Chain A
């Protein structure tokens, strides 16, 4: 995945905000890239563009060999359905669905039958240590458990790009650590790029590389502790 000279403006005229000011970034598959920086520096905007949910104002974005800028809206929807997994800060689980049903949603969107989808989702939840909470509603789960359901949902359809926006900021330190460990251990695989947005210094240890953002630009790109440790 690569982007070159990506800019993004919100609003027009006097109220124009330049959220991205020419971002160049390459993310190879098989590693966990952490995107860090102060609040409002453009992290969410950047990953939204990389995940195909937001149009850049200018620049080139190529993800998994496909040119996102040139892509039609319908093809982008399909691109997200097939290739992207999302973990949000606010979990965004459907409150009326059980853990297994929530985790099955991407498969249902892809057209799987309900029973097969829920069964497959159950297997992923099991791997994430929630095998005994399959039938629980989100409201019956702790924040950490809900985020694990969200991770299961992001991984259930085997996406080649996983985007996590502040996955630990709604969690306490212990749950944040568990969440990052799970992402690190289960999500990061050959053939899959993982981008984790965070401004939580406690979790930097899990990064293969750290891209540091400031005011709409990436101002440094360093090897993370995890890469250093395993090298």
Chain B
């Protein structure tokens, strides 16, 4: 009987596509918007994830997210180092500076200052030049996307010079870095150099990065650091979630995307529901004939649900497929952030399931009450 239901459904191609369209529309919109949302959220934490190696971030008690810089006194590094269970600890500067280009124009940049001795926090993928060259005077490494933003269309070239805080900076390397929320160019330099590039302030230390000693868990060491120093110490994972929670709770981003997703859901339900109901109404004599010939209500119910699920599965596949293609397309343009984790697929799937179930409710009522005697009427 499910086979008959399937045949009925695809028997009229145009109608079938009409029904599927509503679900495709909803699935596409939901998956695409949710993926852009996830991509944006990924941007907010990219700078935490880009720092490879140390698992512990130490910062001011009141820091809410990674861009919320509340400088510490330089002496805090030694207090952190003194906490039992800390294998090593280094300084990390993060700030936004205004750079003056040779052409005379100004450009906002994210300045990252990494430990002079260990270069912990240096970029992973250096395309041109080398991390070791950071030890040269005035040396900086810039991220590739940032370079192309400042000097669009120009080939990647080392040795270019610009000024920060009236001090000369020389590009000795070009690296890949994850895109950031602010989408400014990212400049890496030694900590001692960074404090000179940054506007003069009483306190400059943004974070202390630390590693737990072997046999210690990062979480336990974090607790100990907090107890002994009064600072805030988080594992990388904790800091990621704290930052995400901030953006989720304190910004309009989730609401904006939530509204679009909800609209997609409602419009998809409306289109799918209407077309599916029309389909049922048009086939009501067929259902009536099946009932007259002895098909029970449960079987009829199963047939309609099966049809709805078929529509859902096809619509989901096509919609999510289009969303993924959209993601691939925007990736090659490098503009939009797009990240489609399995959770997005799962949420879209649940939404589509709800849509087709809601859409079939009216139809189910219709086929259940249809009087088999209608088939005798002309």
Question: Which residues from chain A sit less than 8 Å from chain B, CB to CB?
Answer: 44, 47-48, 51, 53-54, 74, 77-82, 84, 86, 88-90, 92, 94-97, 101, 105-106, 108-110, 114, 165
Q: A108 and B4: CB pair below 8 A?
A: yes
Indicate the member of B7, B291, B292, B297 with the most A CB atoms within 10 Å: B292
Q: Are A108 and B11 neighbours in the complex by a CB distance under 8 Å?
A: no
By a CB distance below 8 angstroms, the chain B residues around A114 are 3
What's the nearest-Cβ distance from chain B to residue A53, in Å? 4
A46 vs B291: C-alpha distance when bound (angstroms): 18
Closest to A106 in B: B293
Q: Assuming the A-B contacts A88-B375, A88-B376, A92-B285, are A97 and B293 also in contact, with contact meaning beta carbons closer than 8 angstroms in the complex? A: no
Contact check, A165 vs B1: say whether CB atoms are below 8 A apart: no
Q: Are B1 and A108 in contact (CB under 8 A)?
A: yes
Q: Hey, what's the 0/1 contact readout for B284-311 against A, CB within 8 Å counting as 1?
A: 0110111111111101000000000000
Q: Does B104 count as interface, using CB distance less than 8 angstroms?
A: no
Nearest opposing residue in chain B for A97, CB measure: B7
Residues of chain A within 8 A of B3, CB atoms compared:
108, 114
Given contacts A89-B378, A97-B7, A114-B3, contact A109 B293 (CB under 8 A): yes
CB distance from A161 to the nearest CB of B (A): 12
Q: A88-B375, A105-B4, A108-B4 are in contact. Are A96 and B11 (CB under 8 A)?
A: yes
Task: Known A53-B373, A97-B7, A106-B294; judge A92-B1 contact (CB<8 A).
Answer: no
Query: Are A88 and B296 neighbours in the complex by a CB distance under 8 Å?
Result: no
Assess whether A77 is in contact with B11, with CB atoms less than 8 Å apart.
no
Q: How far is the CA of A88 from the CA of B378 in the complex (A)?
A: 9
Checking B8, B11, B286, B371 against A92 with a beta-carbon cut-off of 8 angstroms, the contacting residue is B286
Size band of the B side of the interface?
20 to 34
Q: Is B336 an interface residue (CB 8 A)?
A: no
Q: Is the CB of B4 within 8 A of A97?
A: yes
Tell me if B10 counts as interface (CB < 8 A to partner A): yes
Q: Which residue of A lies closest to B11 (CB)?
A: A96
Q: Which residues of B line the A interface, CB within 8 A?
A: 1, 3-4, 7-8, 10-12, 285-286, 288-297, 299, 371-373, 375-378
Asked whether A48 lies within 8 Å of B294 as measured between CB atoms, the reply is: no
Contacts of B11 on A, CB cut-off 8 Å?
Answer: 94-97
B286's nearest neighbour on chain A, judged by CB, is A94
For B7, B285, B296, B376, which residue has the most chain A Cβ atoms within 10 angstroms?
B376
* Chain A: CB-nearest residue to B12: A96
Assess whether B294 is in contact with A82, with CB atoms less than 8 Å apart.
yes
With a CB–CB cut-off of 8 A, which chain A residues contact B293?
80-81, 84, 86, 105-106, 109
Contact between B12 and A84 (Cβ–Cβ < 8 Å)?
no
For A51, the chain B residues whose CB sits under 8 A away are 292
| Extra 20 A-B pairs, beta carbons < 8 Å, given A53-B372, A78-B296 | A44-B377, A47-B376, A51-B292, A53-B376, A54-B373, A74-B296, A77-B291, A77-B297, A80-B292, A82-B294, A84-B294, A88-B375, A90-B285, A92-B288, A92-B375, A94-B289, A95-B11, A101-B7, A109-B290, A110-B294
Cα A51 to Cα B377 in complex, Å, equals 14
- CB pair A94 B378 closer than 8 Å: no
Check A77–B295 contact: CB distance below 8 A. yes
